[in-house]
């Protein structure tokens, strides 16, 4: 039987808002855990031990070690606007959450419209029946309206005057509507599968096409065994990279939310529950590493090195200016090494030298573009990075220089014994040099003008001119072979 009563006047009742999944599109406990991990990742090892003594103890231990940042949480703006509107009409607004009192107070201070805060403190976990008990004592049964998002909130709604329901599931809203009076509904439509695909960044897997480069240059791409092994390596590297992307996003929630484009990533925006993000980390790791077991030990070793370096990069190394750029270039080059190991083909030092300079050029370009966006937004320092606006000139010097050095390495390669052994007309390869020079100069020209996205690899994948450049290089290489 439907008990919806939207016409009833609830204005004389207190409005109590839950935090997790309601006022914010996330979970404050997990948010605090990852804020702590950024301070000291080794503290994560203590989380299971703290949890053995109960959730209140876990929240208390985390609270001792962080100064919770409530500024960049993914707030439910629709609910906030409604609460502010109700307050302007004289209604009292309260925050009622199972989160630790210190977190609740930081949120209340940031939003600055609450008349009071009820939260977990002194070992008393304010959840479900315990929260209902407190609200009944403070306001009396039927004298408050509670905003929640989960079935556990039924224990509170049965004593409240009405429910405000926040959910991304229409079936859940229908269930609440059938059982309780409804003051307001907030339906956050989302597609979990699409959010997961977006989060693991399948479009970034294009970077791992680099694994095929060694068998292309060695002219063994028509060898079925080599091609199959590199294909397995491609998926192993891609899924392992997705593991790192998700881990990095969990650790970078605050800085991503402060970025004009990265704030729309599924975890940062709240489109993907943080719990699912945590679950994806071990799943992707196991699948990625598991696939590597089908290949040789050298490939497994380079994959493990890639995972370790990228994980260290996610935790701390990305904060060190210049070093972060060199690491990014090294990680790109490691893909080429992995492809050679997977197929067990000879790896020329020329391609490694070219790769290091070429991808350092792209890594610098990415940082330069990020600083350019900051400059437009009148920011001085990148959140979660070690760069300042003043560094733009230095990056503009390093980036194109690294790109042009890669062309120099390529030109020197043309006269090497490796080139003369693989190509019947190696001098024809000289025609590739001006094409490379044009492309490198063009992407920097676009970047300086502010027409480059924050990831040059993604930009290249959408750029028609880059496809034409790639086709020209292919034709020249074919004529030289």
Sign of the dihedral defined by the CA atoms of residues 423, 427, 428, 433, in that order: positive
Given this model, what pLDDT does residue 8 score?
Answer: 59
Given this model, what pLDDT does residue 313 score?
Answer: 85
Given this model, what pLDDT does residue 453 score?
Answer: 66
**Rounded-to-integer distance, Cα 285 and Cα 247, Å:** 10
**Rounded-to-integer distance, Cα 205 and Cα 237, Å:** 9
Please say whether the beta carbons of 156 and 132 come within 8 A: yes
In this structure, what DSSP letter does residue 45 have? G
Given this model, what pLDDT does residue 41 score?
Answer: 84
Four-CA torsion 56, 58, 59, 65, nearest 10 degrees? 150
**Rounded-to-integer distance, Cα 238 and Cα 236, Å:** 6
**Rounded-to-integer distance, Cα 248 and Cα 193, Å:** 20
**Rounded-to-integer distance, Cα 281 and Cα 91, Å:** 43
Given this model, what pLDDT does residue 376 score?
Answer: 80
Characterize 261-273 residue by residue with b for buried, 16 or more Cβ atoms within 10 angstroms of its Cβ, and e for exposed.
Answer: ebeebbbbbbbbb
Sheet with 116-120: strands ordered across: 116-120, 93-100, 14-17, 144-148, 162-167, 182-187
CA angle 184, 185, 191 (to 5 degrees): 165
Residue 179 DSSP SS3: helix
Q: Which two tokens stand for residue 107?
A: 């949120």
pTM score > 0.85 for this model? no
Contacts of 423 (CB under 8 A, 6+ apart): 429, 480, 481
Q: At what angle do helices 274-292 and 297-315 cross, to 10 degrees?
A: 160
Given this model, what pLDDT does residue 6 score?
Answer: 47
**Rounded-to-integer distance, Cα 312 and Cα 305, Å:** 11
**Rounded-to-integer distance, Cα 124 and Cα 163, Å:** 24
Given this model, what pLDDT does residue 7 score?
Answer: 44
- pLDDT of the chain, 481 residues: tens digit per residue: 333 444 456 778 999 999 999 999 999 999 999 989 888 888 989 999 999 988 889 999 998 899 899 998 999 999 999 999 999 999 999 999 999 999 999 999 999 999 999 999 888 889 889 999 999 999 999 999 999 999 999 999 999 999 999 998 889 999 999 999 999 999 888 888 999 999 999 988 988 999 999 998 888 888 999 999 999 999 999 999 999 999 989 988 888 888 777 888 999 999 999 999 999 999 999 999 999 999 999 999 999 999 999 888 877 788 888 999 999 999 999 999 999 999 998 888 888 999 999 999 999 998 898 888 888 877 766 555 678 888 889 999 999 999 999 999 999 999 888 888 878 888 899 999 999 999 999 999 999 988 876 678 778 878 899 999 999 998 998 898 8
CA angle 315, 37, 253 (to 5 degrees): 75
Q: Is 1 exposed, middle or buried (0-12, 13-18, 19+ CB in 10 A)?
A: exposed
**Rounded-to-integer distance, Cα 204 and Cα 271, Å:** 20
Spatial CA neighbour of 251 closest among 327, 209, 172, 314: 314
**Rounded-to-integer distance, Cα 29 and Cα 208, Å:** 35
**Rounded-to-integer distance, Cα 373 and Cα 453, Å:** 9
Given this model, what pLDDT does residue 406 score?
Answer: 95
């Amino acid at each position: 039987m439907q008990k919806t009563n939207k016409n009833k006047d609830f204005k004389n009742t207190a409005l109590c808002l839950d935090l997790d999944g309601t006022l914010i599109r996330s979970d404050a406990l997990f948010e605090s855990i990852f804020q702590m991990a950024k301070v000291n990742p080794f503290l994560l090892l203590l989380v299971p031990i703290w949890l053995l003594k109960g959730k209140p103890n876990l929240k208390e231990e985390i609270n001792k070690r962080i100064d919770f940042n409530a500024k960049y949480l993914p707030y439910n703006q629709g609910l906030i606007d409604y609460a502010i509107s109700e307050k302007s009409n004289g209604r009292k607004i309260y925050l009622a959450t199972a989160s630790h009192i210190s977190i609740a107070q930081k949120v209340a201070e940031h939003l600055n419209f609450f008349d009071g805060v009820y939260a977990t403190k002194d070992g008393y976990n304010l959840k479900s029946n315990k929260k209902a008990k407190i609200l009944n004592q403070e306001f009396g049964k039927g004298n408050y309206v509670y905003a929640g998002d989960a079935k556990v909130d039924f224990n509170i709604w049965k004593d409240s005057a009405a429910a405000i329901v926040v959910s991304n599931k229409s079936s859940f809203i229908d269930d609440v509507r059938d059982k309780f009076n409804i003051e307001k509904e907030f339906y956050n439509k989302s597609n979990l599968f699409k959010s997961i695909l977006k989060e693991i960044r399948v479009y970034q897997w294009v970077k791992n096409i680099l694994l095929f480069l060694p068998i292309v240059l060695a002219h063994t791409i028509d060898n079925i065994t080599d091609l199959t092994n590199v294909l397995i390596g491609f998926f192993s590297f891609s899924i392992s990279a997705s593991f790192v992307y998700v881990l990095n996003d969990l650790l970078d929630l605050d800085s991503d939310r402060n970025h004009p484009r990265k704030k729309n990533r599924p975890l940062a925006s709240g489109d993907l529950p943080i719990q699912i993000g945590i679950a994806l980390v071990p799943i992707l790791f196991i699948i990625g590493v598991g696939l590597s077991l089908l290949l040789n030990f050298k490939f497994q070793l380079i994959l493990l090195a890639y995972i370790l370096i990228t994980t260290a990069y996610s935790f701390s190394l990305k904060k060190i200016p210049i070093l972060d750029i060199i690491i990014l270039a090294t990680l790109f080059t490691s893909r080429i090494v992995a492809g050679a190991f997977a197929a067990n083909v000879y790896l020329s030092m020329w391609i490694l030298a070219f790769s290091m300079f070429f991808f350092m050029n792209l890594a610098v370009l990415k940082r330069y573009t990020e600083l350019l966006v900051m400059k437009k937004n009148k920011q001085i320092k990148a959140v979660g990075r070690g760069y300042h606006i003043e560094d733009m000139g230095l990056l503009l010097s390093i980036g194109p220089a690294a790109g042009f050095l890669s062309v120099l390495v390529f030109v020197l390669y043309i006269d090497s014994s490796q080139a003369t052994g693989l190509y019947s007309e190696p001098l024809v390869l000289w025609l590739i040099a001006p094409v490379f020079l044009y492309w490198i100069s063009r992407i920097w020209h676009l970047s300086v003008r502010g027409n480059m996205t924050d990831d040059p690899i993604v930009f290249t994948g959408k750029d028609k001119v880059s496809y034409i450049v790639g086709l020209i290089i292919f034709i020249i290489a074919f004529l030289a072979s």
